[in-house]
Amino acid sequence: MKRCVFSILLSLVLCLSLLPGVALAADESSVNVGGVTLNAEHPYAKTQEDGTVSTESANENDYNIHWNADTATLSLNGANVASTLSVPGGTTIELFNDNQFGDVEHTVAVGITTTTQVQDGAAALHVTGDGSLTIYSFNEGISDGAGSTGTLVFSGGAIEITNMQSAPIYTRSGGITVHGKADIKVHSGNSWISCKTAMLVDEDAKVTSNVVLSSSDTITIQGNAEVNVGTMGDVPAFAISGSHGISILDNARVTAMAESTGLNAFYGPITI
């Protein structure tokens, strides 16, 4: 009898100990950067030269990072961060001035990743603004870590990613859209810019990469977009690979340099 009561009490304690973790995992009202949580109560943070993040003395007139929980918008304003930025799915990141995660000698594990899922058709993450974002990462530079079927969207800013392994930009279940005036440059030691559903490069966007652009669905490059693969010294085996087709339309310009195949579509047409 005593053993039975003890077992029941132990089970209750274990269940209760899990509750804070569950609440934290479901929290979509905060972001974590540099080990610091920003929320409605503490929405501002400043960064130091060594990449540390602090809410101390940060305010609406003096900040490098601002989180607006009402609009799910994170503003990076000259931020220098030495660790991963984790945000809820559906977050918009606005870039002001020059922002950096990691450096050549001290890479971050992952640059920016999502922590909660979004549904089909929604943006898993949206990066925009007139500023710049430089990421030095060991693994993914920007990824949908939650594995949602939403899309990684880039509509503005100059984004440069240097990573050692894994994909510089990656979503395991969703798509990638680069449009507006977004300018993305990738230097990767391994892997691909990769997505499962459609990849779209549109309007005045520009993508320059030393690794393959890959989609398990289709890749469309249109408008006045410009895509350059294999033009920075390192030449990948494949340059652009859309499993179910590749379309290069309108005034789009594409340079695809590869050791084997420039444009590769396993199951669909290539339309130029």
CB-based contact 132:154 (threshold 8 Å): no
Whether the per-residue pLDDT at 6 is higher than 60: the answer is: no
List of residues 6+ apart from 160 with CB closer than 8 A = 132, 133, 134, 135, 184, 185, 186, 187
What does the pLDDT average to over 181-191? 91
- The residue with tokens 């603004």 is 129
Q: What is the pLDDT of residues 108-133, one digit of tens each?
A: 999 999 999 998 779 999 999 999 99
16 falls in which pLDDT band (50, 70, 90)?
A: very low
Give SS3 for 215: strand
pLDDT for res 18: 37
The helix (H) or strand (E) run that includes residue 143 is: strand 142-143
pLDDT for res 148: 84
Residue 5: what are its φ and ψ, rounded to 5°? -60, -45
27 falls in which pLDDT band (50, 70, 90)?
A: low
pLDDT for res 165: 83
pLDDT for res 2: 39
Distance CA 234, CA 188 (A): 9
**Whole-model pTM?**
0.89
Q: What is the pLDDT of residues 134-157, one digit of tens each?
A: 999 999 999 998 888 999 999 999
Residue 237: what are its φ and ψ, rounded to 5°? -65, -45
Distances (CA, A) of 185 to 99, 112, 182: 15, 16, 10
Distance CA 240, CA 167 (A): 15
